[in-house]
Structure 1
Amino acid sequence: MTAAALAGFGALQGLKVLDLTQMLAGPYATMLLADQGADVIKIEPPGGDKTRQNGPYLPGALPFKEGGFGAYFGSVNRNKRSIVIDLKSEAGKQQLIRMVQQADVLVENFRAGVMEGLGLSYESLAAHNPRLVYAALRGFGDPRSGETPYTHWPAYDPVAQAMGGIMGITGPVVGGAPTKIGPGVGDLLPAMYLSFAITAACWNVQKTGLGQFVDVAMVDSVLALCERIVYQFSGAGVNSHPDGNGHPILCPFGIFPAKDGHVSLGVPNDRFWEPFVRLMGREDLVSDPRCASNEQRSRHRDFVEPLVAAWTAQHTKEELARKLGGLIPFGPVLRAQDIFEDPHFRRRGMLVPTEQPGARQPLTLAGTPIHMSRTPGGVHQRAPIVNEHAQAILEEFGLIPSSAATA
């Protein structure tokens, strides 16, 4: 795949991104840009990004030692091109500088000070290209935006979840340890913020001709998601605590049992409460003073929630879907197999078959939830083999003579 092959694909076509990131957060941010048509060039160290070895591998798939990749890498590095550059060598640093001179964006997620130690700081690279948007994603942010006691601490998803506040509001209301959110939101949220910040900075370049340093911290991003705990403590002195499967001010609103699993219900107001209780066969609850309003239902949740749970538990998820679907905010709790069998996700392009080189069957990835009518994005290309596009990239940046010119 060459840059020319991507022409006409996505709203970000023509945006050239140098991607130095590894693990999950950084690659997910650049994946979001690549899904919308940016030419994301993944610059890997000798031997390739180590997350390539993280499975699962489909039968027959090209192994890591031969430049292949497992599903983890394949998911967040689709639509990208790969080149190996040794940034610890002088030749590699000069290659990167030459590429920076022609790029729009550079993204890295090393610990603070690593790029400075290589002689590749934002300031030095911006001197070569004042239009450069240099984006950094770190556990606790970059000291340029404010040094904290944790600036140089390493951080992974559970650390960001713990210190950003989300773990402290997740779990059983009474007893039990704080609960980690299943997906790596400590990585994925800052990635989303970073991709937004990059596009905002690139828009500003169009108006001013000047790039800038973009800094997103994993912990800050998680706190931004938990914004309610900040204003509740500031405005009412309420310290955060686990919310369980309910909602602190809406009732009934949360997870309820079914015969064969669980379902989610949201009945936040009388517009839904009255038809809901009639569907339950409990018209008497319409006039019950304990259920007269959401405020009353929340106040008497010890009465309301067990009553709703006892009714839902009598029915399967499918039966509840037939009774409530389209009428009351409702959804069954789905597991992966359910999602693969549900027609919604394939029709929305959320289950995308891709190639895992060497494998005899496709690897299905989660697609993009962003749909644009004129410049659609999506998964157009599998993740790259190590150094797969080196020749084309070096030619495009004028780092080696064009093979077409020498033919």
Structure 2
Amino acid sequence: MGALSDIRVLDLTQVLAGPYCTMVLADMGADVVKIERPGGDLIRSNPPFVEEPDQEAYGGYFQSVNRGKRSIELNLGDAEDREDFLRLVETADVVVENYRAGTMERFDLGYETLAERNPSIIYSAIRGFGDPRTGETHRQGQPSFDLIAQALGGVMEITGQPDGPPTKVGPGIGDLFTATLNCIGILGALHHRERTGEGQFVDTALYDSMISMTERAIYQQSYDGEPPTRLGNAHPTLFPYDAFEVDDGYVVIAAFGSNHWTALCEAIGREDLAEEYPTADSRLANREVLRGELADWMIERASNDVVELLEGSVPVAPVQTTADIFDDSHVHTRNMLYEVEQPGADRPVQIAGAPIKMSETTPEPRGRAPLLNEHEAEVFDELADDEAATADD
């Protein structure tokens, strides 16, 4: 049993933010029923593929964030399908959607309508700019994706090299962080419902979430009165906290604490630097000189040699590729690579595992992503049984 094995989620989401949120709930044991529009989630056909795209049910993008869910196909514009959806709402705990604001209302399936059928329902929305119910703005209704959120939220302005352009963070953090916060909101709403019986509306916006994620930039603007900008891999208030080039790649060092700074200087045979720059303020004020000293020492050595010398006494790590991650025994011991069937391919594939670990109900991926409408008969047979049981009561 998972921690959420008694929770049913109706998942109306697509692409990344919404599916990632409901994936986390599924990993924790929730029964997530993915309700797909005719033709399915538009990301089903997105690469990469193991074989030819026309031989596989979906690509890696869909597989990664839809594992462990059940799929049914409904057209919410059709009266019968709409009524089937409302029947499902009556037995559900949570509804999650990531359409533009107003989309569900056009089907007369907004929060208020669903709450009439099930007053305890938790209705959770993930949007680019939030929902009018929680604060109406001129941006609502505009399309938004991760790139838009990173640009507006200040992430790109503080990411990249000082002499380079604003840079998007590699992973889709606008989607993923928003999804994670939305999941937390859902769990909070479930706890509130357990105490009071009340359902509620949960709203998480990509733009809002990126402002939350750039928390350091926000307080810097307030305290200094100047907008922070790009520092490469450095930190504005800590040193050394940076990436250094070595003979065969890069390593990162986070030795800003005096204990770690002293250990670093001793390890590289530069005790004089620890004596001359004993405080965090002195190191920060002389960061360019000190960075040069460290860089000169690093460039002549291989990453493994640097890591072996410093590991255990100084926070240090190589900058790894995904190939390095696949070779790391730590990753395998922590079950962070999960093997699933890939329909249409002649071999299984690996996707990222569940990072939340619990002593009694550890989350885990619960099988591959579903085929489109794979579980229609199963879901509606269960619904009929539930309705029959309710009628008997």
**TM-score normalised by the shorter chain: which range applies?**
over 0.9
Partner of 1:5: none
Counterpart residue identity of residue 134, structure 1: Y
Q: What's the CA shift for 1:60? A: 6.7
- Is the aligned partner of 1:131 residue 2:120? yes
- Return the letter of the residue paired with 2:135: G
Which residue of structure 1 aligns with residue 273 of structure 2? 285
2:212 is aligned, of 210, 224, 233, to 224
- Aligned: 1:233 with 2:221: yes
| 1:59 counterpart (42, 51, 57) | 51
Find the residue that maps to 1:398 and give its secondary structure.
Answer: helix
Alignment partner, residue 363 of structure 2: 377
Which ranges of structure 2 fall in alignment gaps of 5 or more residues? Answer: 389-393
Q: What does residue 88 of structure 1 align with?
A: 77
Cα pair distance change 1:129/1:86, threshold 3 Å: same
C-alpha separation in 1, matches of 2:75 and 2:5 = 28
Shift, 1:400, TM fit:
11
Corresponding letter in the other structure for 2:377 = Q
- C-alpha spacing 1:51/1:251, structure 2 compared with 1 (3 Å): same
Matched residues in 1 for 2:50 and 2:377: separation?
28
Matched, 1:48 2:40: yes
Residues 289-336 of structure 1 deviation map (CA, whole Å, 9 limit, x = unaligned)? xx1211111100110111111111111111111101111001100011
Report the Cα offset of residue 93 of structure 1. Answer: 0.6
Matched, 1:39 2:31: yes
Q: 1:209 and 2:197 equivalent?
A: yes
Q: Shift of residue 92 of structure 1?
A: 0.8
Q: Partner residue of 1:405?
A: none
Of the three residues 279, 283, 295, the one matched with 1:297 is 283
Residues 297 and 97 of structure 1: is their aligned pair in 2 closer, same or farther, counting only changes over 3 Å? same
Q: TM-score, normalised by structure 2?
A: 0.96
Counterpart mapping for 1:329-340 below 5 A: 329-340=315-326
Q: How many angstroms apart in 1 are the aligned matches of 2:222 and 2:283? A: 26
Output the amino acid matched with 2:328: D
Matched, 1:309 2:301: no
1:322 correspondence with 2:311: no
Residue 10 of structure 2 corresponds to 18
Instruction: Work out whether 1:263 is the aligned partner of 2:251.
Output: yes
Aligned pair in 2 of structure 1 residues 60, 178: CA closer, same or farther (>3 Å)?
Answer: closer
Alignment of 1:72-111 (within 5 A): 72-111=61-100
* Cα distance in 2, alignment partners of residues 130 and 108 from structure 1: 18
> Aligned pair count?
388
Matched, 1:184 2:172: yes
Q: Distance in 1 between matches of 2:253 and 2:387?
A: 62
Shift in Å, 1:62: 7.0
- TM-score calculated relative to the size of structure 1: 0.93
Partner residue in 2 for 1:141: 130
TM-superposed deviation, 1:235 = 2.5
Secondary structure at 2:44's aligned position in 1? helix
Aligned 8 A contact 2:101 2:140 in 1: yes
Q: Is the 8 A contact 1:395 1:401 kept in 2?
A: no
2:43 match: secondary structure: helix
Contact 2:26 2:366 (C-alpha < 8 Å) held by counterparts: no
Aligned-CA RMSD value: 1.5
Aligned residue among 152, 177, 198 for 2:186: 198
Q: 1:61 to 1:180 in 2, by over 3 A?
A: closer
CA contact (8 A) 2:45 2:53 kept: no
> Structure 1 stretches of 5 or more lacking a match?
1-7, 403-407
Residue 363 in 1 paired to residue 349 in 2?
yes
Structure 1 residue 114 and structure 2 residue 100: aligned? no
